[in-house]
Chains A and B, each alone.
Chain A
Amino acid sequence: MKNEPVDVLIVGAGASGAAIAWSLLETRMRILCLEQGPHLADKDFPSRDDDYELSRFGKFSCDPNVRGLKQDYPINADDSCIMPVNFNAVGGSTINFLGHWPRMKPSDFKTKTLDGVADDWPVDYATLSPFYDMNDQTTGVSGLAGNPAYPKYSPPLPPIPIGKLGQTLAKGFNEMGWHWWPSDVSILSEDYDGRQKCVNAGTCDLGCAAGAKGGTNFTYWPMLENAGVELRTECRVREITVDQDTGMATGVIYHGSDGQVHEQKAELVIVACNGVGTPRLLLNSKSKIFPDGLANRSGMVGKNLMFHPLTGVTGVFDEPMKGHEGPMACSILSQEFYETDATRGFVRGYGLHSGRSTTPMTYALGGFGIDNPIPWGDEHRDVMDNVYPYIAGLTVVAEDLPEEHNCVTLDPNLTDSDGISAPKITYRLGENSRKILKHGEERAKEILLAAGANKVLSKGDDAVWWRAGWHQMGTCRMGDDPSRSVVNGWGRSHDVKNLFIVDGSIFVTAGAVNPTSTIQALALYVGDSIKTNIETLFD
């Protein structure tokens, strides 16, 4: 394994690492990406197996503590009501994400100005808009133009089928006079750019063996590798090294696939490990001049962790809904309650997502992300025969506000298989989020009844979905004030001038939409800013 110095070293080959590598291609700099997971082949995806559902509870679980693979790091979530989930491979969590692709809205970047909460971002929607468009083209996004919930834009591909379930719920929204729209998805509704369109397998979380879902293993990485970007897999970075005189990053120490520890020098280091992995790496990179972790003079590394707390309501209809057919989480999305309305008793808002339902085993075991099995015995029989085939549900996706006590720290005892300290999550649901979820649950019940449900099922407790921490944001946030933020308005560390962060950790607020589209738009924006500022990059 050669470790000659490179110009750009990217840690992580997921959503953001791939996007920024693509952006920097034209600079002709030598780019190396280190990824702790493997590069999966088609045959590795379980949806080609007879017993495909089982893998959801084993090696393809979204929970790294359940998978327990060598490339996974354990996460202590004992002090959290939400378990962070992820995947470690080339493609990162775009391997097992569900491809839901809504953008953030203009107001999401101005919550302090508009609503007096959190902080404004140092970038705005208008600035990111061309990067959203660029990324949609590269990824292959399906959707319907003309959504009145956004400034004008056009997805490159027509929408995926919303199916019987989506049509039924749409009628319910229309009955209530509330907004809904076919979901934007990074799933191909038509063959596109040499990739095959979606076959409606309904198991997006098990990785898309067809390449129809916009995992960066299928979108960016084939282009990047063809263009000469070096991708080193099964290489886990232990720490980022720093020149103790200049304070500049010099490269990384990593555990290679050969079992040896290596040093890799680089002129520029870009961290792309998302909202848990990135603060973990920075906090593990302590030195004399950064005793509290790299780039952490503000003390903000790991703070302000935001998820999207989720709850769901299910309607039981008179006819089978065939919810297992079609992209798993993507049918229609309502943003009627997205923007702040002071009369509701909370600030900011939520989305109502109509995902589809799932396969029998997952439903029997409590549903995706929930883990609360249905009863055994006669009640089991009744639920599986008379409820499961007839369900259509709505998921309430709440905007979380940044709170410093919600954080990622290093666990004093837990380590990964290379002995590197593992992250500990401390997170409790804020009162505003709790009110949002309650409001959303009530509205969801109204819609389901309006859509014709003969019965509405909800948990009726105060708990959010446990295994549902897909969206990890805010732990190395952007800002103009170095005492209150980790990176500046274009992703450069305030403290280390040749260190950039491009993932969900730099979000200032969370919005109430799945973040991957915004993560990649931001990564492209940071890449563009690097190119624009190349002459004075380290000043």
Chain B
Amino acid sequence: MDELIPANEKAGVPAAGALGVADFLPAATPYAIDPVQSITEVLKAVDDKIPDFAKLVRTDKIALLKDVETRHVVDFATLVRLTYMGYYSRSDVRPMFGVGAHPVQPKGYDVARESNELMDSLTAPVRARGQVFRDV
């Protein structure tokens, strides 16, 4: 899972596995037909190839995952999709991407309305060019 969403250590953004996203997957039934089955298939495919995946160097891990992705297209896509959902649904992750941790209602975001002067100056060239619809 850490290979699906790796960390950005410099920016303090954790990888998916380190964040515990695996806990999200079994309960993800509203978002996939049978998440457990898909994950099990992928894990089995990995295990069949290399029983000790964790001991591989990173390049070998990625090569193996790409191979599994090719042979188990649907299940692997489900795992990727659910990993993204489990990761980005966390309120502690969103601020790392500039988005508020809070539920967006009722607080929302402060976005100032453009002043009349700014809007006038932005639209002046458009108004100057005149009508752009056909008279019928």
Contact = CB atoms under 8 A, between A and B. Distances in A.
Contacts of B81: 365, 373
Given A161-B114, A199-B109, A373-B80, 5 more contacts: A177-B125, A324-B98, A339-B134, A361-B87, A373-B81
Contact of B111 (A48, A210, A326): A326
A109 to B, nearest CB: 8
A158 B118 CA distance: 14
Given A148-B132, A149-B133, A361 B107 contact: no
Contact of B94 (A163, A174, A360): A360
B11 interface: yes
The DSSP consensus for interface residues of chain A is: loop
Given A148-B132, A377-B3, A389-B98, A182 B109 contact: no
A385 B119 contact: no
16 contacts: A51-B91, A52-B103, A53-B88, A57-B31, A109-B136, A148-B133, A159-B119, A170-B123, A181-B123, A325-B109, A360-B97, A361-B87, A373-B81, A376-B3, A377-B4, A389-B97
Contact of B6 (A52, A161, A377): A377
The 6 tightest CB contacts between A and B, nearest first, are: A199-B108, A361-B88, A201-B104, A325-B109, A58-B30, A47-B105
Interface of A: 45, 47-54, 57-59, 105-107, 109-110, 113-114, 124-125, 144, 146, 148-151, 158-163, 167, 170-171, 173-174, 177, 179-182, 189, 198-203, 209-210, 320, 322, 324-326, 335-336, 338-339, 359-361, 364-365, 373, 376-378, 380-381, 384-385, 388-389
Contact of A380 (B4, B97, B99, B112): B4
Given A338-B132, A385-B8, A361 B113 contact: no
A370 B93 CA distance: 23
Contacts of A179: 126, 129, 132
A163 B99 contact: no
Contacts of B7: 381
Contacts of A320: 98
B105 A338 contact: no
Interface in B112-128: 112-114, 118-119, 122-123, 125-127
A148 B126 contact: yes
Nearest to A125: B136
